Structure formats: C-alpha cells, structure tokens
Structure 1
Amino acid sequence: MARTFTLDGTYIHLAPDEGARAMEGGDLFWAGIAERRDLDEGRLMGASDQARDWDHWERHPAGEEILTLLSGEMELVLDEPQGEQRVLLKAGETFIVPRGVWHRGLVKEPGRLMFLTPGAGTEHRPVDMQGAHRRD
C-alpha cells in the first residue's frame, strides 16, 4: 500500500542503481551512523530542524553535499585551505558544499534544512567551544 511520510521522521537512501529506499530517521539513526555500511553507496536525503548551532564539523570525501534551507536562516562555515569562508543561507536557498571541505552550520533563525548527502567516508570532528578548531 502506498504511503506518505515526512523527511524528518523518515530518510531516503538514493542508491547508485537509481533505487530509493525509505528508512527510519531521527536520533536513533544518527546514533549508529558510524557503524552503517549500507549507506556507503549513493546518497541520503532527509530534513532536520535547525534550532541551534552544530556542535560538530563534518566533511564528505565521496562527493558534494546539497543543502536546501526550507525555513529560517543559517550561516554555513567552510574550513577551506585559504581560511574560513562563510555563506549566509536564507529560506528557499540551496548551497552545494564542495567535496571534502569541513563545514558546519550556525543558526541565525530557527528553521528546517533538507540535505542530500553522499554517505561513504563521511567524517565528523567536534567544534572547539573556545572558537578555535583543529585543522587536518
């Protein structure tokens, strides 16, 4: 039977064979993300509330990440070789995060973010709360 769902409670795995599989999203999904190998191929699509600044940096060596801000306002911080770059993202706008670039989000106005993310090799590192961060 056909059913509808929201991208906050359910994510979609877009497989390289052009298939699409719905899977349960949310906190439990992210808690076990480091051990998942079923997402190494293809991309993950979902949406999440953006109520506070990200407490981590992330990067995706397997491809670009597409971020579309559905509502609210946020600033994306990119840790590039020439230094930190900042991009303001307003409701309805999309940004393509370059492959392999460390990035994080700073919430200016709470809202919702839709993401389309390559899964293979995604890395995370904590934000140094004193303002500095570690470069790799």
Structure 2
Amino acid sequence: MTSPHSIEKQFVVISPDKVASVERADTTLYERLDANYSDFVGHELVSCYEFDSDWPSWEVHPHGDEVVLLLSGDVTFVLQTDSGEHCVNLNKQGQYVLVPRGVWHTARTNTASKLLFVTPGQGTQHRGV
C-alpha cells in the first residue's frame, strides 16, 4: 500500500512502459531526470508549479503534446504557430490547454497561478522572450 504524495513536493515520472516513479521536486530534479531516465527519452513528467509573473522564456517540446491544467489563478498561454501568436486564457479552475508538439509557447501570468503539467520532456528547448 502506498501513502499519499503531494504534487507540489513530489513530481511523477511516467516511463515509456507506463511505470510511474516519484521524484522529489528540488533543485537537483532536472539533473536526476537526465541521469536516471535516459535523457528523458519517451518519458513524461507530471509536475506542479506556481507563478506570480510572466515566464521569462519560451519553450518547445519536440517529442509530444503537453497538457497544462489550471489549478488556481488566471494565466494566458501564448502559442507561436505558423499563422502567428495564438492566446489561450485559463481563468477557471480545471481549464486546460493542449500545447501541440513542436509549438513554442510561453505564459503571461494575470494573477498568481498554480498549474499542473504533463510534459513530454525529451529534447525540451528554451529561448528568451
């Protein structure tokens, strides 16, 4: 039997064969993910973050779609598509955005917000806003 976990303190890594592992959400998390999960090839990360300001960068996930679910707050996701920027506002608990594979995205925080992410982490890239 397992005990309850907190998504704010422990993230979940889902392996390609759908085995879930719990990882501490601390300053060495991403180093451990790269080292212990084959550079995150085929894995997904379930994580929770709080934001009180706009993201300082854009990111892209080349190996899969990302699901971002609003737990609280008000945030606008900006997706950079071939036809220009597309904005998706999340302002009601439970709303989510599907960020397609290969689409650069960032977020503008309208109020302090908490978000749950299901991220295909392999090959994630970042660039400045």
User: What residue in structure 1 maps to residue 96 of structure 2?
Assistant: 94
Q: Which runs of 4+ in 1 moved over 6 A?
A: none
1:53-72 deviation digits (Å, cap 9, x = unpaired)? 11110000100000000000
**Structure 1: runs of 5 or more not aligned:** 128-136
Task: For 1:54 and 1:28, locate their aligned partners in 2 and report how far apart those are by CA, in whole Å.
Answer: 21
Match of 1:119 in 2: 121
- Distance in 1, matches of 2:20 and 2:53, equals 30
Counterpart of 2:5?
5
Superposed, 1:1-136 pairs within 5 Å as 2-30=2-30, 32=31, 36=34, 38=37, 39-90=40-91, 91-127=93-129
User: Which digits, 9 at most, give the CA deviation of each residue in 1:19-76, with x for residues without a partner?
Assistant: 000001144324x37x815122221001111211111100001000000000001000
- What is the aligned residue count? 125
RMSD, aligned α-carbons: 1.7
Unaligned 5+ residue runs, structure 2? Answer: none
**Percent of aligned pairs sharing the same letter:** 33
Query: TM-score by structure 2 length?
Result: 0.89
